[in-house]
Amino acid sequence: GLSFGVLDGDFRYEEQGALACIYYHEIRMAFEQGARLLDGTQAPPFENDGLYQHKHRWGFEPIEDPWNPNKLLIWVPNGSSVAMGWLERMRPIKSVPSAYDY
């Protein structure tokens, strides 16, 4: 809970809008200062992941992290139908722009 400012991990504050307030103010401050990029921290690189969707609803878009370029390699042994079904449901993000493009 401390990572997004919820005192002592008490989720009553999150339920009352603490996380939304923190997001709003950091996005607004970045905009007012003319920032080209705002680090919304990492999220799993799958379009159907809950954290990715949450950040996407706030207007965040994925880009490659120049300090930690994660190159995702997904290997499906023997064409596993379970693994292929999971990939189809999760929809991996196939390409993202570099932070240097901004």
Q: Could you report the per-residue pLDDT of 32-81, keeping only the tens digit for each?
A: 999 988 888 888 889 999 989 988 998 888 888 777 767 778 889 898 99
Handedness of CA 20, 23, 26, 28 (dihedral sign): negative
Asked if the model's pLDDT at residue 1 lies above 60, the reply is: no
Residue 6: per-residue pLDDT: 57
Structure tokens at 85: 């079904």
Q: Are 58 and 27 in contact (CB under 8 A)?
A: yes
What is the rounded distance in angstroms from the CA atom of residue 4 to the CA atom of residue 23? 9
Please state the rounded mean pLDDT for residues 19-41: 88
Q: Are 40 and 55 in contact (CB under 8 A)?
A: yes
Taking the model in full, what pTM does it have?
0.69
What is the rounded distance in angstroms from the CA atom of residue 20 to the CA atom of residue 79? 42
Q: Are 65 and 99 in contact (CB under 8 A)?
A: yes
- Between 91 and 16, the more confident residue is 91
